[in-house]
Amino acid sequence: MDKKRFGIQAAATLLQNANFKGFFTGRISENAAKGVCVPGLNCYSCPGAVGACPVGALQNFLGSRPVKIPYYVVGLLIFFGALLGRAVCGFLCPMGWIQELIALVPVPKKNTFKGDRPLRKLKYLILAATAALPFFVARTPFFCKYICPSGTAAALFLAAADTTVRGLLGSLFNWKLAVLIAIVLASLFIWRPFCKYLCPLGAFYGFFNRFALYRGSVDESACVHCGKCAAACRMGVDPAANINSAECIRCGDCARCCPVKAITLGFAAGKTKQSDGPAPESGTAVE
């Protein structure tokens, strides 16, 4: 575990849910900060939330009649994407951190399996549905209503603190609770399954990985093509072949395991990094 990244994830989650009294009162914060979108997936209705979820805000605008063009939300998403790409997923998203906490349970994990690659396309379909459906069906926040595990967790917190909310939960909530339970169980065996298969926000940020200011580079003259980076990647990326894959969340596992330190992640990373000395031959063992 990268303790530094883990600490940043924990701090980001706490900062985005700093209305601690809400967890006890069951009251959603209505401070002015709730008009500002956070970068990751964090439900507006969570009693601890101090900001708005960009996915929820986007659907709220598009589902209004007449339709309101969400210039602010889209502009903010593009800003986060252009600056960080999916580093948002790796460092700032509460839902990502929660999945990693679940993954600490010591059971065997599978980084890939039959059907893994086709399933990864599902998040792009969900992104398309999230953006398009509100245009055709007024006030239908598809993702928030039928999928979002963050929203389901928020409802559980609210119901625990407020008996009135408890009485309002019905069949739709039961469906979303089943989705949440499935994600939790999958997180025991697959690293960050929600991020890989279902998250529209991760799908959106993935488009920016090749162009974001925070990016990856491989020193091609130093790389010995040992395959250790690909074996270490829990998102199923081969960094030596495609360091800026849309699936990469910039966790840094590849850079830490590289025996020749050929991988760089950060704002200073260029397309390639030139080695000061001659490149080791491919397949050479490096201690």
Highest mean pLDDT among 16-25, 53-62, 102-111, 201-210: 201-210
Give the DSSP H or E segment for 259.
none
pLDDT digits over 195-252, tens only?
A: 999 999 999 999 999 999 999 999 999 999 999 999 999 999 999 999 999 999 999 9
Pairwise CA distance, residues 38 & 48, whole Å: 13
The set of long-range contacts for 110-115, using a CB threshold of 8 Å and a minimum separation of 24, is 110/189, 110/190, 111/190, 111/191, 111/233, 111/234, 111/236, 112/236, 113/190
Q: Which is nearest to 51 in space by CA: 82, 94, 8?
A: 94
**DSSP label at 198?**
T
| Mean pLDDT on 185-200 | 97
Average pLDDT, the chain: 90
Residue-by-residue DSSP string for 23-35: HHH-----SGGGG
d(CA 178, CA 184): 10
What residues contact 78, with CB distance under 8 A and at least 6 apart?
Answer: none
Single-letter amino acid code for the residue at 95: M
* Segment 31-52, tens digit of pLDDT: 888 989 999 999 999 999 999 9
Q: Where are the domains of the chain?
A: 3-206, 215-266
What per-residue confidence (pLDDT) applies to 207?
97
- Collapsing DSSP to helix, strand or coil, 263 comes out as strand
Amino acid, res. 53:
C
Triad 197, 199, 201: Cα angle to 5°: 140
What tokens were used for 71?
């210039």
Provide mean pLDDT across the span 10-29. 93
Q: Which residues contact 24 (CB under 8 A, 6 or more apart)?
A: 161
Domain 215-266 has CATH 3.30.70.20: yes
Q: Distance (Å, rounded) from C-alpha 261 to C-alpha 263? A: 6
